Amino acid sequence: MRISRKWLEKFFDAPLPEAQKIVDALTFHAFEIESVEKVAADDVLDVKVTPNRGHDCLCHRGIAKELSAILNIPLTHDPLSGKSDLPAGKSDLPVSVSIKSDLCRRYIAVLVRGVKVGPSPKWLRERLEAVGARSINNIVDATNFVMLNIGQPLHAFDISKIKSQNSKVNIEVREENGRLMITDGHADKVLGVAGVKGGPESLITESTTDVILESANFDGISVRKTSAALKLRTDASQRFEQGIPPELAGFGALCGAEMIQNLAGGEIAGFVDVYPRPQERRIVSVTLEKINKVLGTDLSEKEVSDAFARLGLKSEGNFTVRVPFERLDLEIPEDLIEEVARIVGYDKIPALPLEPDPSLGKPPVNPNFYAAEKTRDELMSQGYSEVYTSVFAERGERAVLNKVGGGKPYLRDGLIPGLRDALERNSRHKDILGLKKIKLFEIGTVWKDGEEKIIVGTADERGVSEKPLKPLSADKYDDLPLSAAMHYQPFSKYPYIVRDVAFWTAEKTGAEKIIQREAGPLLVKISLFDKFEKNGRMSLAYRLVFQSFERTLTEQEVNEIILKIQEVLGKSGFEIR
Amino acid sequence: MNNEAGHIHPISSLIREANRIFYDMGFTFVDAPLVESEWYNFDALNVPKDHPARDVQDTFFMKDEPGVVLRTHMSNVQVRYMESQMKKGILPPYRIVYPGRVFRNEATDMTHEAEFYQLECLAVAEDITMAHLRYTIERLLQGIFKNIEIRFRPSYFPFTEPSVEVDMRVTASDTPEKLRNKWIELLGAGMVHPNVLKNAGVDPGKYQGFAFGMGLDRPAMLRWGIDDIRLMHSADLRFMNQF
């Protein structure tokens, strides 16, 4: 979520530190920061809110609350600190609400009359645009502002477009084909798909004067399924998906209605709040002993109560915590332990040696792993190199349902096809590898005869074969060597060209150096592949492999290099054969 | 030349090395099925039914086998192992390490593979703390990379509470400049969620523990400077024979 530094400042009297300090504070005590961007005189942070905090931190107030706790700066302007009571309206309000599904836990409709729709003031446009929201008009902008400010999605309807002549608007929340819909029970008009999108008929336009502001609570799973089915993810649906607290709807209605009045005038004619099962306030307890026992720390009672206080978690004794309504994630003692740990800082957790546990004894040796290690070692000593190939195959007994791209959906029933393919591909690279023979093996899982099993496959010039890996028991693991490689050298993906150079010589030294010098950097491999003596002279034959990292070499340029090598060798006393 | 020894796959070498380090700390090597039930892969791990991780795009579901998936992480071993021990009447302490191949249904590129390797580690007893977690991770990474520092950052996983992300930096002077003194996000860790213990039949009121899971491809790439994750499954000796 995009968070504006200037927006955050509105929650505090004390100044906030520079952007980098805010980034560090959030990174090490709350959330990862994906990026920081300068937008005009503002800094915009892209905060990666974790799924367990989507219900309270996909808004500026949530992030401000976190910063207040982490940096220990009082949150002096907290829109959630007071009561969310709406002013009582007239009893003959032409609006009623009925909830016909448990998937809606609360629905508030506020009627605001006599508004004047127009553009938003500059400060609001700037706020919204800084975090990537588009300014529409003062009414819609007010709803978006409240959502981005406290996390409650709001929706505004034009009442004149849904009301039948002289009658009331009867808002109904009901399930239709598994989807939660907002409809007008009288006129049977669809006002919106709950939590996802409002209906086009009741859109706010320049001529709108009377507005119904919806601040509601819809079930997260239901909204997620609906928005996925409609392939429509909106800012509202993304927040409802998280499962937001129904108490928040009251604050949403209050903040939204006040803001509409401030921006567009009019008067709050009244509200309807249907809230059949009010949210219960949770109390969670944890002891200081338990906190230190889980974290491996030696925190004092004061350090812990201080962390709770900074988070706005009212605690008594040792420790009974009254959880604020918006912290739906705090349910069990371990949740409180995490709160303490991240506010105190994970750097306070020491490294404590994990001593041998006498009751465990010596670990048993895993028979499959032991057998695999032994087989690996034996095959390597015979010159076989290990490969891993894909478990996905053209054929097999079992298949996956939903592979991206769709190719090779089967799980392999043997290692042979993969190894045969690997053998063939590697055989083309024999010269560059400097190998006379390609020898491969794989120890891998296959699915055959209704079983998942581990088998060993080998591939060489005599063929490709496989056999089951037989589990082996042992007292301890063998001390086998690790890879001695230091750094991997990337190889060229361009084709290479091979040339042989053979010559007679009386004394047999020096030729290789000359070849390397004359051939230059395109020579990537040189090997002496033939050597014999005749009439007191020695015949040497070198195989040269040429390759470039940047391009495909031409026959002609390699031929020219060979001619040059032969010429210099000739001048140096080697007789080209 | 024909008698030249063959080469070990870099991941196999890392697993061998890790097992040695863990064996010395009393950890048992455990293996488990790659084709797994949704119960062990998700539900038992406190991953709710409607969690985005269970969405079709991330997980390979088996055809004509409802409720069966290709494991998306090694964490399927946690409840599987503890439950089987409890059924045998063996109570904690448990210390296990379990590396293996895991699957994510996504398009592949230089840093993403649909098949890759992970190593997980679980320790459960009456007195296993987050401080032991830090020590164990340090000891593993110290063994593989030498001269390292680690740091914890808050994170979220359904199966641990508290949960942390672990960054590592290598400080040795002979480290390639690209890597030296740079914090790299390497693994996820935390204290086993009480629900996971409960689902395995272990009493969360008495026992607690840590778990951490690390991809193996990334450490291998960092350690040897490998630039393309797809080489791991390429079976290409131009790559393999360097190990």
Q: Which domains does chain B have, with CATH numbers?
A: 11-240 (3.30.930.10)
Contact B131 A351 (CB under 8 A): yes
> What single-letter DSSP state applies at residue A531?
E
State how far residue A537 is from chain B, nearest Cα, in angstroms: 25
Residues of chain A with CATH 3.30.930.10: 367-468
Could you tell me which residues come within 8 angstroms of residue A91 by beta carbon, excluding any fewer than 6 positions away? none
Percent of chain B with pLDDT strictly greater than 90: 70
Q: Is the minimum CB–CB distance between A445 and chain B shorter than 8 Å?
A: yes
Residue B153: pLDDT band (50, 70, 90) is: very high
pLDDT value of residue B1 = 40
Token pair recorded at residue A38: 């300068």
Contact B243 A485 (CB under 8 A): yes
Average pLDDT, chain A: 92
pLDDT value of residue A88 = 66
**H helix or E strand, kind and range, residue A290:** helix A288-295
pLDDT value of residue A164 = 62
Out of A53, A402, A477, the one facing B61 most closely (by C-beta) is A402
**What is the average pLDDT across A124-139?**
94
Model pTM score: 0.90
Instruction: Give the residue among A218, A214, A222 at the shortest CA–CA distance from A179.
Output: A222
Mutation target among A240, A357, A390, A412 for the B interface, most CBs of B within 10 A = A357
Give the right CATH number for A2-71 from 3.40.50.1820, 3.30.43.10, 3.90.1580.10, 3.30.56.10.
Answer: 3.30.56.10
Residues of chain A with CATH 3.30.56.10: 2-71, 283-348
Q: Which fold has domain A367-468?
A: BirA Bifunctional Protein; domain 2 (3.30.930)
Mutation target among B136, B195, B238, B239 for the A interface, most CBs of A within 10 A = B238
> Taking CB atoms and an 8 Å cutoff, what residues of chain B touch A453?
none
pLDDT value of residue B98 = 97
> Taking CB atoms and an 8 Å cutoff, what residues of chain B touch A439?
6
pLDDT value of residue A509 = 72
Average pLDDT, chain B: 91
Contact A383 B5 (CB under 8 A): yes
Residue pLDDT, tens place only, A190-223: 889 999 998 888 889 999 999 999 999 999 999 9
pLDDT value of residue B2 = 45
Contact A388 B11 (CB under 8 A): yes
pLDDT value of residue B57 = 63
> What single-letter DSSP state applies at residue A34?
E
Token pair recorded at residue A56: 């309270």
* Separation CA A181–CA A172 (nearest Å): 8
Cite the DSSP H helix spans in A131-205. 138-150
In A148-207, the residues whose Cβ lies within 8 Å of chain B are none
Q: Is the minimum CB–CB distance between B39 and chain A shorter than 8 Å?
A: no
* Separation CA A268–CA A306 (nearest Å): 42
Residue pLDDT, tens place only, A171-188: 999 999 889 999 987 777
Residues of chain A with CATH 3.30.70.380: 497-576
Chain B residue at shortest CA distance from A480: B16
pLDDT at B199 over 90: yes
Chain B residue at shortest CA distance from A484: B243
Contact B19 A369 (CB under 8 A): yes
Chain A residue at shortest CA distance from B151: A347
Q: Is the minimum CB–CB distance between A432 and chain B shorter than 8 Å?
A: yes
Q: Which fold has domain A95-274?
A: Phenylalanyl-tRNA Synthetase; Chain B, domain 3 (3.50.40)
Contact B7 A356 (CB under 8 A): no
Chain B residue at shortest CA distance from A362: B26
> Taking CB atoms and an 8 Å cutoff, what residues of chain A touch B243?
483, 485, 488
Q: Which long-range contacts (CB under 8 A, 24 or more apart) does A314-322 make?
A: A318/A287, A318/A288, A319/A285, A319/A286, A319/A287, A319/A288, A320/A283, A320/A284, A320/A285, A321/A283, A321/A284, A321/A285, A321/A286, A322/A281, A322/A282, A322/A283
Count of Cβ atoms closer than 10 Å to residue A90 Cβ: 9
Out of B12, B123, B155, the one facing A354 most closely (by C-beta) is B123
Q: Is the minimum CB–CB distance between B161 and chain A shorter than 8 Å?
A: yes
- The answer to whether A412 touches A516, Cβ cutoff 8 Å, is no
Contact A294 B191 (CB under 8 A): yes
Chain A residue at shortest CA distance from B99: A369
**What is the average pLDDT across A219-229?**
93
Residue pLDDT, tens place only, A280-330: 999 999 999 999 999 999 999 999 999 999 999 999 988 999 999 999 999
pLDDT at B18 over 50: yes
Token pair recorded at residue A376: 């690996």
Chain A residue at shortest CA distance from B102: A391
Q: Is the minimum CB–CB distance between A291 and chain B shorter than 8 Å?
A: no
Encoded amino acid at A61, one letter:
R
**H helix or E strand, kind and range, residue A569:** helix A555-571
Q: Is the minimum CB–CB distance between B142 and chain A shorter than 8 Å?
A: no
Encoded amino acid at A163, one letter:
K
Mutation target among B60, B95, B118, B212 for the A interface, most CBs of A within 10 A = B60
Residue pLDDT, tens place only, A517-564: 888 888 888 888 888 888 888 888 999 988 888 889 898 989 999 899
**What is the average pLDDT across A336-363?**
94
In A507-546, the residues whose Cβ lies within 8 Å of chain B are none
Q: Is the minimum CB–CB distance between B20 and chain A shorter than 8 Å?
A: yes
pLDDT value of residue B56 = 60
Out of B63, B93, B101, the one facing A359 most closely (by C-beta) is B93
Out of A27, A296, A452, the one facing B33 most closely (by C-beta) is A452
Mutation target among B8, B22, B174, B231 for the A interface, most CBs of A within 10 A = B8
Contact B13 A352 (CB under 8 A): no
Count of Cβ atoms closer than 10 Å to residue A520 Cβ: 10
Give the right CATH number for A497-576 from 2.10.109.10, 3.40.50.460, 3.90.1150.10, 3.30.70.380.
Answer: 3.30.70.380
Residue A375: pLDDT band (50, 70, 90) is: very high
In A34-73, the residues whose Cβ lies within 8 Å of chain B are 50-53
Q: Is the minimum CB–CB distance between A360 and chain B shorter than 8 Å?
A: yes
State the count of interchain CB pairs (< 8 A) between A and B: 262
For residue B116, is the peptide bond before it cis, meaning its omega torsion is within 30 degrees of 0?
no
**Least confident among A400-404, B109-113, B196-200:** B109-113
Token pair recorded at residue A150: 């406290």
Q: Which long-range contacts (CB under 8 A, 24 or more apart) does A34-43 make?
A: A39/A4, A39/A130, A40/A126, A40/A130, A41/A6, A42/A4, A42/A5, A42/A6, A42/A130, A43/A4, A43/A5, A43/A19
Out of B1, B7, B176, the one facing A386 most closely (by C-beta) is B7
- The answer to whether A135 touches A119, Cβ cutoff 8 Å, is yes
Contact B136 A338 (CB under 8 A): no
State how far residue A345 is from chain B, nearest Cα, in angstroms: 9
Q: Is the minimum CB–CB distance between B18 and chain A shorter than 8 Å?
A: no
> Taking CB atoms and an 8 Å cutoff, what residues of chain B touch A342?
154, 162
Residue pLDDT, tens place only, A470-528: 999 999 999 999 998 888 888 888 888 989 988 888 765 778 888 888 888 888 888 88
Contact A401 B138 (CB under 8 A): no
State how far residue A383 is from chain B, nearest Cα, in angstroms: 4
Out of B8, B61, B106, the one facing A401 most closely (by C-beta) is B61
Tokens 């949704």, located at residue: B38
Could you tell me which residues come within 8 angstroms of residue B125 by beta carbon, excluding any fewer than 6 positions away? A357, B92, B93, B94, B207, B208, B209
> What single-letter DSSP state applies at residue A103?
T
**What is the average pLDDT across A228-237?**
93
Q: Is the minimum CB–CB distance between A354 and chain B shorter than 8 Å?
A: yes
In terms of CATH architecture, what is A283-348? 2-Layer Sandwich (3.30)
pLDDT at B115 over 70: yes
pLDDT value of residue A530 = 87
Out of B11, B34, B154, the one facing A452 most closely (by C-beta) is B34
Token pair recorded at residue A195: 């939590």
